[in-house]
Chain A
Amino acid sequence: MEKTEYNLIIIGGGPAGLAAAVSAYDAGERSILVLERDLRLGGILNQCIHNGFGLHTFQEELTGPEYAQRFIDRLTERGIAYKSDTMVVSVGTSEDGYKEVAAVNETDGLLLLKCKALILAMGCRERSRGALNIPGFRPAGIFSAGTAQRLVNIEGYLPGRRVVILGSGDIGLIMARRMTLEGAKVLVCAELMPYSGGLKRNIVQCLDDFGIPLKLSHTVVRIEGKERVEAVVIAEVGADRKPIPGTEERYECDTLLLSVGLLPENELSIGLGVEMSTVTNGPVVNESLETSVPGVFAAGNVLHVHDLVDYVSEEAALAGKSAAAYIREYDQGSISEEMARIPVTVSGGIRYSVPVSVAPGRISDWLKVRFRVGDVMRNKKVVLYLDGVKELSKRRHVMAPGEMEEVVLTRKVLDKHPDLKSIEIKVEEG
C-alpha cells in the first residue's frame, strides 16, 4: 500500500513549489510530497528558453530551463518525493485539522492523500480572448502568447507566418522576437495602455532590435476571417480607453497573439474556502504566507503575479519554512490560538500588499512586504509608518505597475514598537 499521509504536500512543481519544498526540507521537514500536473518538474520555466533568469538568486543570467534545473537538482539531492503527471482535483480539511488532497494520474488512478500542512503553488494562467470581448468570428490563428511559446519551444511548431500581437506584457514581447527568429513576420505590437507593462530591456531587445513597431494606446477592434485569421484591425484609444473612430488600421495576417495579463489559478484554493483578495485574485496571507485556513500556505504566482522568478523562489522559501514551523507546532500540540495580527494598510496609489497582516512575534530578522502601484509614478517616496511614526523612507525615481516594489520590515524597527497597532505603507511626493 502506497503512502498516503505526509506532513507537507505542495501543489505545483514549478519555481514556487520547488523552492518551497527545498526550504521546508532545509528547515528540518522530511515528510514532503510535491504534486505536478505536467510530465516534468519546472513549470512554465521549461518553455521560457530566453535568458535573464536568476540574476538575483545565482548572480548569473540563466535561461528558464537552466534556472528550473538548479532547483530540480536541489530537490533530487535531498531525495524529496514528487509525483509528476498528477493532477490535483480537490482539496479540503477534515475535522482533526488534517488537509485532504484528491489527485489523479494514469498509474495510481485516484489518490486520496492527507497532510498536516499544504502549500498552494499552482501558478497562474493567461487571460484569454473570452475575457476581452473582441467582436468577430472564432477563426483559427488566435493564440495566447504563452500557447504560442509552448508550440514553438516545446512542440516545435510555428503557429503562424504573419503576426499581430495585442498586449505588451513580457511574454508577448519575448514571442515577438521568437517568432521573428523562426521566420515569421511580426507586423505590430498594440498596447491598450499609454505605457507598456513589459520590461524596458524586452522592448529594446525584442521589438526595437527587429524594427517591430509598438503602438501604445491602441487595441484590436476587429478580427477578420472565418476559418483562419485573415486580417486584424487595430485603432487608437482615447483617455477613456475606447477606440477613436477614423484611426483604424488594417493588418493582413494569419495570427493574433494575446499577451493581456495573467490570472492566479485559484480554483483549488476557493474550493478549500480560503479568503481571497479581489485585487490580486490570490489568497489573503499573513507574514508567514499562511492563508485564512490554518496550515495552508501560498507562494508564487498563485498568490500574486510576479515579474521575476527570483522573487518567486525567495517568497516560496518563506512559505516552505513557515510550513515546516507549523508542522513542528502541530506535532507538539502548540498551535497558537488566533495570534494578534496587525493589518498592513497601503495608500497613495499602492494597489495591494503581500502580506496584508503581520504578527510581529513571528518575524525573526526581517520581512519583505511586496506591493505594486496602480499607475506610472515619477519622483516619489515610499514611506513606512509604524503607529504613525516614520520608520523608513526611500526615494523612487520611477515606479510602474509592471515592476513589483518592496519594503523591508526589520526586527530592529519592530522592537521600537512593543505595542504596535498599525503598519502603513504610503507613496508620498518626493
Chain B
Amino acid sequence: MKHKELTCIGCPLGCRLDVLLDDTGAVTMVTGNTCPNGEKYARKEVTSPTRIVTSSVRVYGSKMGERMVPLKTAADIPKSKVMDVIRDLAGVSVPCPVEIGDVILHDVAGTGVDVIATKHVE
C-alpha cells in the first residue's frame, strides 16, 4: 500500500488529492476530491502522467532577422520523458522559412511523437 498526494488542476479550488495505490501500483482509492473530475485526474496523473512540451530552437537565414522558432510536441508525451525531449533539442537549428506544423524533429526521444514548429518564420 502506498499513498501519493497531488493537487488537482481541474479548477481554482485546487483540491488536495490523496491517492491510495496497491503493491502493483494500481489505484485503489482517491480521496480529497470534491467532484468526479478530481478522481479522473488523480488516476491518470498517478498511473500515466503526460505533458505537452514546448520550447524553442535557433533558426538561420531569416529575412525578418528572427533568431528563434518556437515548437511543441505534436501530442502529449510521458512526463518522465520531458527532459529527454529537451536534451534531444539541444543544438538543433533549422533553416528558414519555417511554417506552423513543419516537423523539426521526428520521433523525439523515442516517444513516437514529432516536434513541430508553432510559428511562421520567414
> B-contacting residues of A (Cβ < 8 Å)?
39-40, 46, 49-51, 61-63, 65-66, 69, 152-156, 181-182, 199-201, 203-205, 208-209, 397-400, 402-403
- When the two chains form their complex, are residues B119 and A65 in contact, meaning their CB atoms are under 8 A apart? yes
Q: Would you call B105 an interface residue if the criterion is a C-beta within 8 Å of the partner chain's C-beta atoms?
A: no
> Given A49-B54, A209-B79, A397-B13, A63–B68 Cβ distance below 8 Å?
no
Chain B contact residues (Cβ within 8 angstroms of A): what range?
20 to 34
> Given A66-B118, A200-B9, A398-B11, A155–B67 Cβ distance below 8 Å?
yes
- When the two chains form their complex, are residues A200 and B12 in contact, meaning their CB atoms are under 8 A apart? yes
Residues on A with beta carbons closer than 8 Å to the beta carbon of B54: 49-51, 63
Which residue of A50, A61, A398 is within 8 Å of B12 (Cβ)?
A: A398
Residues on A with beta carbons closer than 8 Å to the beta carbon of B100: 65-66, 69
Q: How far is the CA of A83 from the CA of B55 in the complex (A)?
A: 29
Q: Would you call B32 an interface residue if the criterion is a C-beta within 8 Å of the partner chain's C-beta atoms?
A: no
Q: How far is the CA of A134 from the CA of B14 in the complex (A)?
A: 31
- When the two chains form their complex, are residues B119 and A46 in contact, meaning their CB atoms are under 8 A apart? yes
In the assembled complex, the CB of B107 is this many whole angstroms from the nearest CB of chain A, namely: 20
> A-contacting residues of B (Cβ < 8 Å)?
6-14, 34, 51-56, 58, 64, 66-68, 70-72, 79, 82-83, 86, 100, 118-120
- When the two chains form their complex, are residues B118 and A65 in contact, meaning their CB atoms are under 8 A apart? yes
Residues on B with beta carbons closer than 8 Å to the beta carbon of A199: 9, 12
Chain A residue at minimal CB-CB distance from B59 = A156
- When the two chains form their complex, are residues B13 and A63 in contact, meaning their CB atoms are under 8 A apart? no
Residues on A with beta carbons closer than 8 Å to the beta carbon of B8: 200
Which residue of A40, A51, A203, A209 is within 8 Å of B72 (Cβ)?
A: A51
Could you jot down 6 A-B contacts, CB within 8 Å?
Answer: A49-B70, A62-B118, A65-B119, A69-B119, A153-B56, A200-B10
- When the two chains form their complex, are residues A51 and B52 in contact, meaning their CB atoms are under 8 A apart? yes
Residues on B with beta carbons closer than 8 Å to the beta carbon of A402: 12
- When the two chains form their complex, are residues A403 and B64 in contact, meaning their CB atoms are under 8 A apart? no
Residues on A with beta carbons closer than 8 Å to the beta carbon of B7: 200, 203-204, 208
